[in-house]
Structure 1
Amino acid sequence: MYLNNYLTINTTNNLKAVAIILVILGHLGFINRSGAWGVGIFLLLSGYGLTQSYVKSGIIGFFKKRLLAVILPYSIVMLIWIFVDFILGNKYSISTIATSILGVNFKSVIDVTMWYIPFLILWYIIFFLTFKSLKNNYFKIITMFIFSCIIYYYVYKLFDQNVGVRLYTLLFPIGVLLGFLFSKELNISEKMLKSTLGHIIIFSFILFEISLNRSNDYRYYTLSIIMFSVMIISIFMIMQNFESKILSFIGNISFELYLFEGVFINKYNFIFECINNKFLSVVTYFILIFVLSSIYHNIVKYINEHSDVYLFEIIKQFNYKLRVISLSRMIK
């Protein structure tokens, strides 16, 4: 039995929906610390997904896939916020603009909630270098955890301490570990698997409750995020046949929701200040981010579907210009 049959695309999509809902509710202040739980789920799923992709097709096309799926959508949105800020009278240095667009501004000057992108890119680079250079899968897993320790101790030389990046350093490597574990066939019955998952849920919940009450300590706070992520993933694995059109829809646009949800809470919240009723203000906020995310998701999807055509045309035009330049020099 392969465990990835219990963590299907549909299941991971539902988990992404739960994660982004937790992030939004946390940012809105409705559920204390839920944003951290949502980020934990995202990072664990990211490590898992990359490892599963590696097991199936290797490391070929790694950065192209990440560019189209993550960096390009983020960069376009960041360009929009820079333009909006310019109209509002907020100007940035060239270096801040360049690093923000590329996703390597570790201080997240333009949108503080975007710290997740450079953190994710950092893990992408570590993942690529590790999986490209090492052959043994056990060494790959160990190396990922070694890097998580290094990041834990040196992360605040890059990131702002207020965003609490240190809380999440173990989640990506745990996802990598699960990615390898779930790619192996295990001699276990379905009944035994569900029983094991049930015990994991209970154990995770107990540790989550214990660590949550001591979450003023970073170590316990980190443990609470890990346990919550493991617990939620185990619950959805047991409910493998569970289908929800709402969760499926939200999961599909989860990344786009992340790109839009934070900036309207922390930066452009003046849009909702004219609405005196708090309930209507929140409803308007949700309508706005869901509409923008849905539209943007379709735009990104179209770009991804036609990326090879666009890339071919760019290369074609570039080669044509090179030939013209070379010909003109020969004539001279």
Structure 2
Amino acid sequence: MNKQVLFEILLIVFVIIIYTLIKKGAKRNKKLLSIDYTTVLRGIAILMAYLQHTMGGLGSRLFTPLGGGGVAIFLIISGFGLSESYKRKGLTKYWKRKFLHVFIPWILIFFTFQYDFTQFNILTLVGNITLIKPIPWYLQYLLLWYVIFYITHRFTLIQKYENIVYILAALCIFLFWGDLQAEQSVTFILGIMISRYLSVIMRLSKKRMFILVASMAILAILSLSIKQIPIVRENFSNKILFHCIQLCLKTSLALTVIFGLQYVTKILNNQFLALTGKISYEIYLVHLWVIPAILAYYPVKNFTHICLFLILTYIISFLFNKLNKELIMKL
């Protein structure tokens, strides 16, 4: 572990501790998968992705599994939240909510920091705005599941075969799409299933829940260990083998965090993680496309670069979140 990697870890830990000591808030709802619970989960998930991306830039592969694990948490929570919302509101204002909360922030980022107006290309423009062929694969993938969920709940005939549609979609993603999509092929569905059987999960005894969390943790460690075996790595040209290992690793890691969080309930009261969760979508957009664009004009390196990256990410994400809320209220 190089000095820059260690410095970034210590910096994030330091910020979490200081913010928690300064910012005192009311006790949060610690019920499994409550809004407060999932908000903190989002905070943890985006920090996992942030660490993987920034550590990769520092030449470390130590945190590589965290990125996919964080994305898996997001997708499981998204599937869960969409299903829970459907229970309460049905499909009322379904696409309007998605447009305001997902599309508008991306479009603002795209035009402000990503699109090169000197090289106008209508196909690139339309592809990114509609998410048919965007720069961020995650948003396109999320849109696909939004469409599948809408279709299976909008048409009664198709709703009868909802599970079959999910299985076929996941299978097609696993077999025919890219590596990143394949390893996440079941996560959104898992979120829907968790919502569907939440009452059953809530009734699990402490012993059974512990066994579930421990099993997922063991599966994650086992998957990561198998991935490191030389003969296995040499055969990663076999996409099925590679995707199976990656899917098991990222999914089990995500489930370990999601259900394991209830055993460290003090984290649920952490104000920094709660703030991070509330602006997690903005952090995702900002740390990947805004900050690199800004810092490209300021060739800072090492410790200064790490500090600037973190500080600017949070400041711009927070302000961007406020702007988004203002726009949503007016639209």
TM-score, with length taken from structure 2: 0.78
Instruction: Render the CA deviation track for 1:147-167: whole Å, top value 9, x for unaligned.
Output: 111222232xxxxx4x62211
Shift of 1:141: 3.3
Counterpart in the other structure of 1:34: 66
1:141 and 1:173 in contact (8 A); partners too: no
Equivalent residue number for residue 180 of structure 2? 164
Select the residue among 122, 125, 129 that pairs with 1:101. Answer: 129
Equivalent residue for 2:152, pick from 115, 122, 130 = 130
Q: Quick one: distance in 2 between partners of 1:68 and 1:94?
A: 23
Aligned twin of 1:72:
104
Query: Quick one: distance in 2 between partners of 1:186 and 1:204?
Result: 15
Question: When the two structures are aligned, how many residues end up with a matched partner?
Answer: 282
- The answer to whether the 8 Å contact 1:47/1:175 transfers is yes
User: 115, 135, 138: which one pairs with 1:116?
Assistant: 138
Query: In the alignment, is the contact (CA less than 8 A) between 1:204 and 1:228 conserved in 2?
Result: yes
Aligned match for 1:233, one of 255, 258, 273? 258
Deviation of 1:268 after TM superposition, in Å, equals 5.7
Structure 1 unpaired stretches of 5+: 109-113, 156-160, 308-332
- Where do 5+ consecutive residues of structure 2 fail to align? 1-29, 228-232, 234-241
Structure 2 Cα separation of the partners of residues 147 and 33 of structure 1 = 24
| Aligned partner letter, 1:207 | L
Percentage of pairs with the same residue: 22
3-state SS, counterpart of residue 18 of structure 1: helix
* Residue number among 43, 53, 61 corresponding to 2:75 in the alignment: 43
Tell me, yes or no, if structure 1 residue 283 matches structure 2 residue 307.
Answer: yes
Structure 2 Cα separation of the partners of residues 248 and 124 of structure 1: 25
Report the equivalent of 1:194.
206
Decide which moves more: 22-31 or 140-149: 140-149
Post-superposition shift, 1:287? 1.0
State whether residues 272 and 281 of structure 1, in contact with CA within 8 Å, keep that contact through their aligned partners in structure 2.
Answer: no
1:258 & 1:247 partners in 2: Cα distance? 15
Confirm whether residue 223 of structure 1 aligns to residue 248 of structure 2: yes
Residue deviations 1:295-321 (CA, integer Å, cap 9, x gap): 0100111122232xxxxxxxxxxxxxx
CA distance in 1, matches of 2:273, 2:129: 30
- Note if contact 1:36-1:225 (Cα within 8 Å) is conserved in structure 2: yes
- C-alpha contact 1:13 1:252 (8 A) present in aligned 2: yes
Change (3 A) 1:100 1:201: same
Q: How does 1:177-188 map to 2 (within 5 A)?
A: 177-182=193-198, 184=199, 188=203
- Give 1:243 shift: 1.0
Q: Does structure 1 retain, via aligned residues, the 8 Å contact 2:49–2:68?
A: yes
Q: CA 1:186/1:150 → structure 2, altered by over 3 Å: closer, same or farther? A: closer
| Pair 1:15-2:63 in alignment | no
> SS where residue 105 of structure 1 aligns?
coil
Using a 3 Å threshold, how does the CA distance of structure 1 residues 208 and 186 change in structure 2: closer, same or farther? closer
Q: Indicate conservation of the 8 Å contact 2:166/2:189, yes or no.
A: yes
Correspondent of 1:152 among 174, 198, 202: 174
CA contact (8 A) 2:52 2:65 kept: yes
Partner in structure 2 of residue 322 of structure 1:
none
Pick closer, same or farther for the CA change 1:180–1:135 going to 2, 3 Å.
Answer: farther
Distance 1:7 1:34 in 2: 21
How big is the shift at 1:187?
Answer: 8.4
* Of 122-131 and 29-38, the range deviating more from structure 2: 29-38
Offset of residue 195 of structure 1: 2.3
Q: Which structure is larger by alpha-carbon Rg, 1 or 2?
A: 1
Give the residue type in structure 2 aligned to 1:10: D
More moved, 260-269 vs 221-230: 260-269
User: What is the letter of the counterpart of residue 279 of structure 1?
Assistant: F
CA gap of 1:25–1:271, structure 2 versus 1, over 3 A, is farther
Aligned partners of 2:152 and 2:158 also within 8 Å: no
- 1:205–1:227 CA contact under 8 A, matched in 2: yes
Aligned to 1:327: none
Q: SS at 1:262's partner residue? A: helix
Q: How far did 1:172 drift?
A: 0.6
Structure 1 residues 39 and 102, CA gap change in structure 2 (3 angstroms) = same
